[in-house]
Amino acid sequence: MKIDLGLVDYAIVSIFLAFLFYVGFRCKQQMHSANDFFLVAKKLPAWGIAISLFSLGLTAFDIVGLSALTADHGIVSLHYFWMGTIPAFAFLIFCVIPVFAKAQIKNLPEYLHRRFDSDTRQIGAYVYIILVSIFCALNLFLGAKALTFFLPLPQAVWIMILTAIAAGYVVLGGLSAAILNSLLLVSIIIFALTPLSILGIAHFGDWNKIVVELMDKSYFQIWKPLLGLNSLGVKWDFIFTGLALSMSLGMFALDYSVIQRVQSVDDPQDAKKAVVTAGWLRMISPFIIVFPTLVAVAAIPSLKMFDVKDSESALLILPLLMGNWYTPGMFGICVAAFIASVLCSLQAGLMVFSTAVFCDIQNASCYAKIIRAQKLTVAGAAVFAALALVMNQFPGIANYIQTLFTFLGVPLCAVTVCGLFLPGCTSKGAKAGIIGGVIIAMLHYFCSILSSISPNLLPLGLGALVAPFKSQLAYFGFRSAFASNLSRAFFVFIGSIVIALLFSGKQDKTDSKDLSLLTFHISSVFAKENRMVLLATIFMLVVLMLLNVGLW
Amino acid sequence: MSLDITRPLALMSIVLGVVLYLYGQFVAIPFAFDIPHGVVPIKIDQPCGLFYVLFGLVVWQFGRFSKIKTLHAEIKKREKELKIKEPVVAQDQEAEPKPVPEAESKSETTSDSEQNPDSENKV
């Protein structure tokens, strides 16, 4: 299928980019030192922060990647939007924000420094840099793939263009531009995707007709397929243990860019309200991502004929529906939306990269010249683009991103949780927890590889060693990388906590006063000023439960 | 932060909406869209453009509303601050009387008495 972009489409994309750079220029006028580059003048309203947080869940990975997952496996992908986010946001509201606000901590490595020591801070900063670089590269790769559908430039050229746009306005306006522009990015993504849902409803007239069209009931259930054998190989308990407990905490509650945004609000109550609002927005976001995907699979006859399980085709499912139902004019909005989806992650990633290098690794003064911070942002953009180009050459790498997160992100998240909840955990224990977590992840990965190979084929007599444990190794034989990652995340999370506690020596008594500031207290949950937020969060969790029961 | 983001957001939506609507009105060719009971010719640009314009206007009004609300809140906060600080200032002045130029002291007394009639006795 070929799409011809008209002059109006180029005009729309140009107007959109002009507004992004305008916001960057306006923010530049307020900046005088590196401190202004990394911090937002604390006058952003809670709703602005909420949309900014929501933008972190509208990345190319969410739009292109999760629509492909939906096309392949049905609405099981809703777990990513709901169980993978909402419990993490509740954790952020009640356990993270009160502690960070009380101790006046701006980011996660700073917390690790104050709770443990400077070495843990450095480890944390390096881990975040690695994870954010790879995640941004993945987003560049996926976004470029979708954009080539509309404008057939080579993917490498798209990667360079997208990186230049993000680096351009972030260098100008720093964190302020990144947060403020999130609002423009979110609005353009919603403009492009919402009409697809409305047209889908008009096309079929009834939800049941979509179900009949697809002739597969399990495609529309989120829990029942997980009770038996399913194409993903994910069991129901993995959703609680692997996704909601282990991975989502690292991705949405203890994520560098989430904390950076939440801490840019002056009042912690406003920050909590922002997170609750972002949770509600996240809960309704499947309507603009998952629903159009289902409509696409049901509505386009050619999609039924070609194998949507082919990952390449599944990645282009939303652009294909847009190509079928939209005309010039809306094509421009679509191109702008896919650019926006990449920018959502890139701008956050660039700020994490530059802040982590500047504040946590170089430990530079906040009053340093702004050019230094800007140079770091450009360096970050270069790293992301280079990684994306490598990914473009070897597309198989993209499948290992989540695996890498379980190796590095989950141990760090587990240690941070230890710091928040267990006053007995020391810096020695924290470092042991991180290293132990990585080792557990490696062992789990090794076992899952061994389980998939026949012992006879193993070299160097390894087969004889493995053969007696074949029944035990069968546990690690997962049907998909996704299931393997969820299982690994849980093992690593629990393992890291246990190792951190085992290796923690005696706490220095002089630290006890500081520790009370840096650890979670249950009294903060039931504080008088928290009542409205508590009720709103409980209501959100009840609605989440009802939605899960409804789509059982 | 001096930049009110609702302005660029509203402007962007209005400009994009107008461009889309005009394109849909004068240039675009309707395409046949299948619905359950037949086919309807639609120009998707027109309703979308109209929606973006409306969205932009709503955001513009919301920006104005939130600005007025913020100003009101700040005025109230300032008023509250002034009422709290007055007795403290009066006590300080009683404890350590400082030489104040005549013109200034007169103006301070009048302003205090305008805001709070009780403060006259304290001063």
DSSP string, chain B: ----THHHHHHHHHHHHHHHHHHHHHTPPPEEEEETTEEEEE-THHHHHHHHHHHHHHHHHHHHHHHHHHHHHHHHHHHHHHHHHHHHHHHHHHHS-----HHHHHHHHHHHHHH-TTHHHH-
Mean per-residue pLDDT, B66-71: 86
Mutation target to probe the A interface, by most A beta carbons within 10 A, among B23, B25, B66, B71 is B23
Q: Give the per-residue pLDDT at A41.
A: 59
Which candidate from A183, A203, A327 shows the least CB-CB separation from B35?
A203
Measured between CA atoms, how close is B51 to chain A, in angstroms? 9
Spatial CA neighbour of A300 closest among A78, A71, A145: A71
Q: Give the per-residue pLDDT at B118.
A: 46
Domain ranges (residues) in chain B: 6-122
Which candidate from B2, B19, B31 shows the least CB-CB separation from A8?
B19
- Rounded to two decimals, the ipTM of the complex is 0.88
What would the two tokens of residue A438 be?
Answer: 């990585």
Distance in angstroms between the alpha carbons of the first and the last residue of chain B: 39
- A85 close to A62: Cβ distance less than 8 angstroms: no
Q: Give the per-residue pLDDT at A1.
A: 64
- pLDDT bucket at B119, cuts 50 / 70 / 90: very low
pLDDT score of B84 more than 50: yes
Closest chain A residue by Cα to residue B43: A327
Q: Give the per-residue pLDDT at A347.
A: 94
Q: Give the per-residue pLDDT at B113.
A: 45
Q: Which sign, positive or negative, has the C-alpha torsion A100, A105, A109, A115?
A: negative
A7-393: CATH, from 2.40.360.20, 1.20.1730.10, 3.40.50.300, 3.30.420.40: 1.20.1730.10
Instruction: State whether B48 and A330 contact (CB < 8 Å).
Output: yes
Closest chain B residue by Cα to residue A42: B1
Start-end ranges of CATH 1.20.1730.10 in chain A?
7-393
Q: Cβ neighbours of residue A132 under 8 Å, at least 6 residues apart?
A: A256, A257, A348, A349, A352, A353, A356
Q: Give the per-residue pLDDT at B110.
A: 47
Q: Give the per-residue pLDDT at A303.
A: 59
Closest chain B residue by Cα to residue A181: B5
Residues of A in contact with B35 (CB under 8 A): 202-203, 205
pLDDT score of B123 more than 90: no
Helix (H) or strand (E) holding A38: helix A34-38
Q: Give the per-residue pLDDT at A190.
A: 94
What would the two tokens of residue A49 be?
Answer: 């922060």
Residues of A in contact with B16 (CB under 8 A): 12, 15-16, 191, 333
Measured between CA atoms, how close is A206 to chain B, in angstroms? 9
Q: Give the per-residue pLDDT at B120.
A: 41
Q: Which residue has the higher pLDDT, A444 or B116?
A: A444
For chain A (552 residues), the mean pLDDT of every run of 10, in chain order, is 85 96 91 81 77 92 89 87 92 92 88 91 94 93 91 93 95 91 95 92 83 73 83 84 89 89 85 93 91 86 53 80 90 95 95 92 80 92 95 79 89 94 90 95 90 73 73 79 90 95 73 76 83 90 92 84
Q: Give the per-residue pLDDT at A306.
A: 46
